[in-house]
Amino acid sequence: MSRLSLLYAFGAAILGRHVVHGVAVWNQCGGIGYAGSTTCDGGTTCVFFNSCQPSSATVTSSTPRKTNTGANSVTCSGSLTKFKYFGVNEAGAEFSGYSWPGTLGTDYIWPSPSSIDYFVGKGFNTFRVPFLMERISPPSTGLTGPFDSTYLSGLKTKTDSKIIFDVMNEPHDIASTTVFQLNQAAINGIRASGATSQLILVEGTAYTGAWSWTTGSGNSDVFGSISDPHNNVAIEMHQYLDSDSSGTSDSCVSSTIGSERLAAATAWLKSHGLKGFLGETGGGSNDVCIAAIQGALCSMQQSGVWIGALWWAAGPWWGSYFQSIEPPSGPAISRILPEALIPFL
């Protein structure tokens, strides 16, 4: 089963009204097929991902920045680089993984627009949508056969500049060298197809775990050579905080496990001049896990090398799953959202 992902990134300001002559902060200012203004409002510049962003993304304060919601207030001090991409996974299109192509509304579901609107209203700007290659190209007709038009209609295309390409979700039991070669081939193919402005995320073997990136997986030996002719690629890693890093338990190892499991990967990114993207993370709605999540996100913003982070997960069909952050009442809404995520916007 090949689970892939597309990410959609945009700013909350896109919903507002601005009586200005330039492009508002976080709105589009370039890209494939874009015909609008390329002049940004004062104090912003048309940069990475063809959006108007504040002239400096680094926030430095003479006093430490604090997360000021809930009982688990922590201090995050120093020069902090805000995430360019911050949001949630929106799962559902990959459900019933061995039902191909499956039936919409029975085997799989696309994200609810109201869920996206909810998070945009809170200030989040990036949404990762997993999907199945076997549903786009059903095995019954093969990769060279026709695409399934119903499933394909739910996805965006190379002409949408707000799309981020996530090559493949969590490869495993494959040699790191092979996974690297497949990712490099995907980058080359994406660019050759005409999608030249969008960010591409590549994942390593061993479920692309941050905690094992430099120890045992082999990823650190090969991914330092990843290349993109348009210099717009980042390394996507995943990290959960339970005992085996699987994200299946709501008990976290300790209140510091988040920053500890990211430390070696962060150092590797710095040493190779690469950017990181935390594509999945999660934990339980309890004091220990919330402190661990805060510590992880704080360490990432202190490092200057992590450009984004996404919670796992929202989606219409999660029910009582402990990490569900689907509005209005997913179990992670009441504490994780205000205490662990919103303070790092």
What are the residue numbers of the active site? 170, 280
Cis before 328? omega within 30: yes
Which amino acid belongs to residue 16? Answer: G
Q: C-alpha angle 194/274/190, rounded to 5°?
A: 15
Alpha-carbon distance of 210 to 208, in angstroms, equals 6
For residue 74, what are its two tokens? 């922590």
Contacts of 96 (CB under 8 A, 6+ apart): 102, 106, 107, 108
Closest CA to 97 of 129, 128, 133: 133
Closest CA to 181 of 204, 208, 154: 204
Enclosing H/E stretch for 299: helix 287-303
Pairing of strands 276-282, 80-81: unpaired
Instruction: Name the H helices within 55-174.
Output: 113-122, 133-136, 149-152
Contacts of 178 (CB under 8 A, 6+ apart): 205
Alpha-carbon distance of 196 to 229, in angstroms, equals 9
Whether 16 contacts 23, CB under 8 Å: no
Coil vs helix vs strand at 201: strand
Alpha-carbon distance of 140 to 341, in angstroms, equals 43
**With the C-alpha atoms ordered 41, 43, 47, 48, is the resulting torsion angle positive or negative?**
negative
